[in-house]
Amino acid sequence: MTACKVFYEGRVQGVGFRYTVKRIATGYEVTGCVRNLADGRVELNAQGEENEVASFLDAIAKSDLGSLISHTEKHEAAPAKGSRGFEISF
């Protein structure tokens, strides 16, 4: 089990970014959440098997969202116990 926190910069707010990420997540065995930050970035928290998380992040980059992302910053994180589903945080 692996977990990460990813920060996306660019034109990532007001364009359906979080909803698209949630839709993409349904195709992968990952849990976590995505939320807008006050500074204009989007924060993604994801966990699952290493290959599933990597494939999920790759799918985000290769989706229509990829053209909206100008910078991505990824950090390893401690997996949360009892995490279920993938949601949009407000």
Active site residues: 18, 36
Q: Work out whether the CA dihedral 27, 28, 31, 32 comes out positive or negative.
A: negative
CA 56 remoteness from chain centre: 8
Closest CA to 23 of 47, 56, 67, 68: 56
Residue pointed to by tokens 């994180």: 77
